[in-house]
Amino acid sequence: MADTLQILKCGVRFDPPALVLNYKDRKTGKLRSRSMPLRNFNKNSGIDRIMQELESNPRHSKFIRLMSPAQLQRLLTIVKDKLNGLSLEASIARNNLMDQINPEENLNKVDPEILQRKKLLMDSSFEKKRIKPGDPQFEYNVEVDFDEVAIETSNWDSDNSEIDF
Amino acid sequence: MSTNSQPDYDKPGDEGEERVKIICLGDSAVGKSKLVERFLMDGYKPQQLSTFALTLFNYKTQIDGKTVSVDFWDTAGQERFNSMHPSYYHQAHACVMVFDCTRKITYKNLPEWLKDLRTYRPEIPCLCAANKIDEDMDTTKKSFAFAKKNNMPFYYVSAANGTNVVRLFKDSIRAALAYKHNSTDFMDEIMKELENFELDPIPSKVKDKEKETEKITQEKS
Ligand SMILES: Nc1nc2c(ncn2[C@@H]2O[C@H](COP(=O)(O)OP(=O)(O)OP(=O)(O)O)[C@@H](O)[C@H]2O)c(=O)[nH]1
Ligand SMILES: [Mg+2]
């Protein structure tokens, strides 16, 4: 049933905190708006838990499912930043940083919420590249020998940050 | 997690089968869990929102006509879980060490993982995998000094499209068994295999692989 709904826009409202979704009902062609209050949300709430609650809420889940998890997490983080006194501009800048994968950033040390956010981003490109059972090209055992002749040394080994292996 | 809650891998299992323990190591988000899941194929689990400290996957297989029970141990790369390390390494027979070929830092951190591993398991065979080659196929034209310097067999893999995943884990099981049966000679053996890898693109050591490899070689030529 959710397939008949098409998401157009999503955003947040701060006072009182709520997620707002504009969508189109393909069956009737009507444009509609849905607002989902974030009732027990405060500056200490775990985003993870709030996401799970929304996803299992019988009234909201079919709308929540229209959003990508990465987007949902971003919006909830913006609301939480606001509750913590951060300006909208500062929060958006911070969130844009979190939505980038920096090849030099050590994810072993970051806050679990940031790690989760990065994994959600990686997940969307993983899903694009994924060949799964049922796909015509799927094979369980894919063995490929890469040409040894064309090989060059990775420049990851030649820069001065090299530690002695 | 306490050490004594682990199975004793030196003893056979309930049906007399041999048991081995293989551990996965590497930075957070390099794809360790996705690789194990791709190998075991017990359905991709829905995305796991929180990273659990430890997941144990059991896998039963036939090697040379004998049943082998393999436990793959998968842990989170995050530092907040590091306190469990001694029991994670306990009795391990082989290690699969993974980095993400799209993120340099994960390669630069490999020496740390290896140092940790060698503190607890100085001898066990360790296989090295560059994951996510689907994101950047140019990676497969590059060699990585870390694996060579430390005598590790090296694999270009992708958990997303499956490239060399089965090969990596099957080889890790063979390495674990070889280590278990004859720990002292093992490094020689793996060195020999490494040389074979380079001289001969068709791995001749595994009979049932030959057909598939031939197919691929024919398609290439
Ligand atoms: N494109 C692509 N993405 C991948 C591949 N393997 C894993 N990923 C993505 O990388 C992210 C991390 O994968 P995980 O398997 O959770 O990584 P991990 O090493 O188990 O991470 P920790 O448990 O935190 O140590 C996920 O979002 C995956 O979608 C791959 O082969 N290709
Ligand atoms: Mg994992």
Lowest mean pLDDT among B36-45, B124-133, B160-169, B170-179: B36-45
Those residues with Cβ within 8 angstroms of residue B219's Cβ, 6 or more apart along the chain or in another chain: none
Lowest mean pLDDT among A87-96, B30-39, B72-81: B72-81
Three-state secondary-structure class, residue A87: coil
CB B38 less than 6 A from any atom of ligand 1: no
Range of the domain at B165: 18-199
Residue A46 touches chain B, beta carbons under 8 Å: no
* Strand order across the beta sheet in which A18-25 lies: A5-13, A18-25, A30-37
CA-closest candidate to residue B206, choices B170, B153, B178: B170
Interface of B with A in 151-190 (CB under 8 A): 156, 158-167
Residue B211 lies in a domain: no
Closest CB from B145, B162, B217 relative to A142: B162
Q: Residue B1: inside a domain, yes or no?
A: no
Mean pLDDT computed over every residue of chain A: 90
Mean pLDDT of A105-115: 91
Q: Does A132 touch chain B (CB under 8 A)?
A: yes
Q: Which residues of B touch A111 (CB under 8 A)?
A: none
DSSP state letters, B149-186: HTT--EEE--TTT-BTHHHHHHHHHHHHHHHHH-GGGH
Burial class (CB within 10 angstroms; exposed 0-12, middle 13-18, buried 19+) of B219: exposed
Q: Among A116-130, B44-58, B192-206, which is the least confidently predicted range?
A: B192-206
Q: Does B136 reside within a domain?
A: yes
Tell me what pLDDT residue B30 has.
98
Please write the tens of the pLDDT for every residue from B80-117. 777 677 888 999 999 999 999 999 999 999 999 999 99
Total number of domains in chain B? 1
Contact B105 A147 (CB under 8 A): no
The answer to which of B45-49, B125-129, B157-161 has the lowest mean pLDDT is B45-49
- pLDDT-wise least confident of A3-17, B128-142, B196-210: B196-210
- Flag whether pLDDT at B49 surpasses 90: no
| Residue B160 falls inside a structural domain | yes
Residue B218 lies in a domain: no
A149 or A114: which leads in pLDDT: A114
pLDDT at A160 over 90: no
CB contact under 8 A, A140 and B41: yes
Mean pLDDT of A2-19: 89
**Contact assessment for residue B17 and residue B68, using Cβ atoms and an 8 Å cutoff:** yes
Q: Find, in chain B, the residue whose alpha carbon is nearest to that of A46.
A: B50
Mean pLDDT across A52-66: 93
Instruction: Give the model's pLDDT for residue B188.
Output: 55
Q: How confident is the model at residue A150 (pLDDT cuts 50, 70, 90)?
A: low
Sole residue written with tokens 């068994």: B177
Please tell me the distance in Å from A142's CA to the nearest CA on chain B: 5
B8 three-state secondary structure: coil
Give the C-alpha distances (Å, rounded to integers) separating B197 from B183, B192, B204. Answer: 22, 9, 9
pLDDT grade, residue B168 (50/70/90)? Answer: very high
Section B62-85 average pLDDT: 85
What percentage of chain B exceeds 90 in pLDDT? 55
Q: What is the largest CA-CA distance in chain B?
A: 54
In degrees and rounded to multiples of 5, residue B29 shows phi and psi of 70, 20
Any domain includes B12: no
User: Ligand nearest B157 Cα, by number?
Assistant: 1
CATH code, domain carrying B85: 3.40.50.300
Hey, is B126 helix, strand or coil? Answer: strand
Q: Angle CA(B56)–CA(B144)–CA(B214) in degrees, nearest 5?
A: 75
Cα(B66)–Cα(B15) distance, integer angstroms: 11
Flag whether pLDDT at A3 surpasses 80. Answer: no
Residue B28 inside a domain? The answer is: yes
Residue B161 in any domain: the answer is: yes
DSSP state of B3: G
Assess A151–B contact: CB distance below 8 Å, yes or no: yes
Cα gap A24→A5, rounded to integer Å: 6
Whether pLDDT at B146 is above 70: yes
Answer whether A28 touches B (CB < 8 Å): no
